[in-house]
Amino acid sequence: MKYYFLGASNPETIRMINAVQRVEPFNIGGFIDNDPSKKGSSFFGFPVLGGFEVLDEIIDSESRFVNLITRNAILRHQTTRVLLSKGAILANFIHPSVDLTMVKIGCGNYIQEGVIIQAGVKIGDNCSVHMGALIGHETMINDDTFIAHAASISGCCKIGQGCFIGTNATIFPRVTIGNWCTVGAGSVVRKSVADCSVVVGNPAKLLMKNNINQI
């Protein structure tokens, strides 16, 4: 298999590649990035092949793709849809320190170092969980969701599709976060949140609604 990474910007990616390589070596084809100024350059020794225009040249039965984009959940969703529409097969990119015992996980997920995922958790496809986040027991994370570093999601929660959970946010047990919601950094969510809500503060309160017409 040959692995390609979408998004040549975060040096932490290289540390993760090195950590995974020490446990299970794999072949890296290079990086995909839609910034035309990066095409033909090198990202920490790995080639930047170009943007989506090169996908038709590199997609085959032996290629696998990892989406590293975490700027927001909608952009992650959109870029992954492009990959899939071209016939790309997604792969999980998970730091070897993460214990996935008694956890169910889909494909195309990017999980960084120091993440704690407790027993009974279910994670869908195309999610990203950043360093030091905690996902409590029996919580369900739906597709296309981004969980920022040090966020804490308590047990038995339900996180909808395309959610953005900000840095140091705290979600109380058994809370449901609807689809395409944003939870602001440092917010404390004590009650369930309706679809497309943007909530901030302690306790978290509705600030506005996300516009998802672009999806």
- CATH number of the domain that residue 48 is part of: 3.40.50.20
Round to whole Å and give the CA distance between 57 and 74: 26
Round to whole Å and give the CA distance between 109 and 141: 11
Q: What is the largest CA-CA distance in the chain?
A: 50
Residue 34 lies in a domain: yes
Does residue 36 have a cis peptide bond before it, meaning omega lies within 30 degrees of 0? no
Residue 43 lies in a domain: yes
- Ordered per-residue pLDDT tens for the chain, 215 residues: 999 999 999 999 999 999 999 999 999 999 999 999 999 999 999 999 999 999 999 999 999 999 999 888 999 999 999 999 999 999 999 999 999 999 999 999 999 999 999 999 999 999 999 999 999 999 999 999 999 999 999 999 999 999 999 999 999 999 999 999 999 999 999 999 999 999 999 999 999 999 887 67
Residue 30 lies in a domain: yes
Q: Please give the mean pLDDT across all residues of the chain.
A: 96
Round to whole Å and give the CA distance between 202 and 36: 42
Round to whole Å and give the CA distance between 8 and 39: 10
Residue 202 lies in a domain: no
Contacts of 81 (CB under 8 A, 6+ apart): none
Q: How many folded domains does the chain comprise?
A: 1
pTM tops 0.85, yes or no: yes
| The one-letter amino acid at 65 | F
3-state secondary structure of 84: helix
The residue range of the domain holding 14 is 2-92
Residue 165 lies in a domain: no
